[in-house]
């Protein structure tokens, strides 16, 4: 039987989704940038994105979140990496053959400063 989600994870998930929705077209950010802003680890952000429903995947710009060094994660399944590349290129970003975004500084979306949040605290 699957483990139930904690209240903290539910709050983290909602915030990751909210932040992804704010990334403008033609821009990108990284798992780590979102994680630093939220005071969590990048793996939390990646886990939320990897578990989006089909409906959320269709409506959220998840493709605008990439790995460190402005690169499509090399650990991502090939078909998802291809879809991410296709969507980023459709928004005008140029990627090299290894999945790095060229001229990354011009396209980077700053999420914000680190927030001092304890996700396990009651709202």
**pLDDT score at 1:** 36
In sequence order, what DSSP letters do the residues of 15-39 get, joined into one string?
HHHHHHHTSPTT-BEEHHHHHHHHT
pLDDT of residue 121: 64
Residues 64/20, Cβ–Cβ less than 8 Å: yes
Look at residue 49 and give its three-state secondary structure: helix
String of b and e for 12-30 (b: at least 16 CB within 10 Å)?
Answer: bbebbbebbeebeeebbbb
**119 in a structural domain:** no
In a domain, 2, yes or no: no
Residue 89 has a pLDDT of 98
Residue 121 lies in a domain: no
Residue 78 is assigned to a structural domain of this protein:
yes
What pLDDT score was predicted for residue 2? 46
> Which pTM does this prediction carry?
0.88
| In a domain? residue 123 | no
Report the number of distinct structural domains present in the chain: 1
pLDDT in 10s for each residue of the chain, 123 residues: 345 578 888 999 999 999 999 999 999 999 999 999 999 999 999 999 999 999 999 999 999 999 999 999 998 999 999 999 999 999 999 999 999 999 999 999 999 877 777 666 665
- Report if residue 114 sits inside a domain: no
pLDDT at 120: 67
Torsion of CA 38, 39, 41, 47, to 10 degrees: -30
Q: What is the CATH number of the domain that holds 55?
A: 1.10.10.10
Domain boundaries, position 34:
7-107
Is residue 116 one of the residues assigned to a domain?
no
Cβ atoms of residues 119 and 44 within 8 Å: no
């Amino acid at each position: 039987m699957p483990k139930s989600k904690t209240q903290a994870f539910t709050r983290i998930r909602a915030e990751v989704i909210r932040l992804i929705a704010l990334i403008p077209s033609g821009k990108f950010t990284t798992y780590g940038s979102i994680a630093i802003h939220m005071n969590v680890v990048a793996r939390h952000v990646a886990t939320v994105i990897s578990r989006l429903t089909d409906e959320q995947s269709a409506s959220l710009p998840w493709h605008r979140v990439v790995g460190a060094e402005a690169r499509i994660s090399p650990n991502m399944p090939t078909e998802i990496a291809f879809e991410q590349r296709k969507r980023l290129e459709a928004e005008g970003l140029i990627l090299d053959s290894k999945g790095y975004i060229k001229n990354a500084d011009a396209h980077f979306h700053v999420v914000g400063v680190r927030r001092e949040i304890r996700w396990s605290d009651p709202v």
